[in-house]
Amino acid sequence: MAHRKLVPGDLIIATHNEGKLREITALLGPYGMTPVSAGQLNLPEPDETGTSFVENALIKARAAVSATGTVALADDSGLCVKALGDAPGVYTADWAEKSWFEGGPGRDWYMAMGKVEGKLAEHGPDVDRSASFHSTLALVWPDGHEEVFAGSVPGTLVWPPRGDRGFGYDPVFMIDGETRTFGQMDPAEKQEIDHRADAFAKLVGAVF
């Protein structure tokens, strides 16, 4: 299928995650797009029932298009830890969900990082700490045309968390070849090398 060019104008970013919105907005800045998030429009969050990043990204983008009639871009991303059979994977955000006795509803990313570290500890001190971040971007038009782009970066998990920048699992993820975690990097520097940047480079090459 031939790629369809994306013309400058309004674009719905199908997310309620402010950190993710900031990254995507910065990446779209040079291309004349005017991003508005699903959260800013008070759109409901669809149930992410897919079993892959592709399926969940499409679910979110299709829901935003259905609600607005405007082209929508969704990102589904996650952390895959080799020793944990690539978990949490598509359930990356779910691991941060607080139960009622943890003060929920809401997400606690420090708790999520602790869950990953706890499961690694069960494998002993010599456990393989390699991991990778993955991002899938789904771009959906009102007439049903769809484009999907995937990116990833390999790295290593560290403990305890380092740095207070970024979001999600950034403070425990150190990309290969680096001595700093994503949580210690300037956001502009991280956005040039992370998994979302990898996926965006493919999207930009195809639709702009």
| Catalytic site positions | 76
Question: Tokens 């079993």 sit at which residue?
Answer: 51
Taking alpha carbons only, the member of 46, 21, 56, 23 closest to residue 36 is: 21
Residue type, 4: R
Using an 8 Å Cβ cutoff, are 191 and 197 in contact? yes
* Residue 166, number of CB atoms within 10 A of its CB: 22
Query: How far apart, in Å, are the Cα atoms of 63 and each of 95, 132, 136?
Result: 23, 28, 16
Q: Count of H helices and E strands in the chain?
A: 5, 7
Helix (H, G, I), strand (E, B) or coil at 74: strand
Q: Which residues contact 110 (CB under 8 A, 6 or more apart)?
A: 161
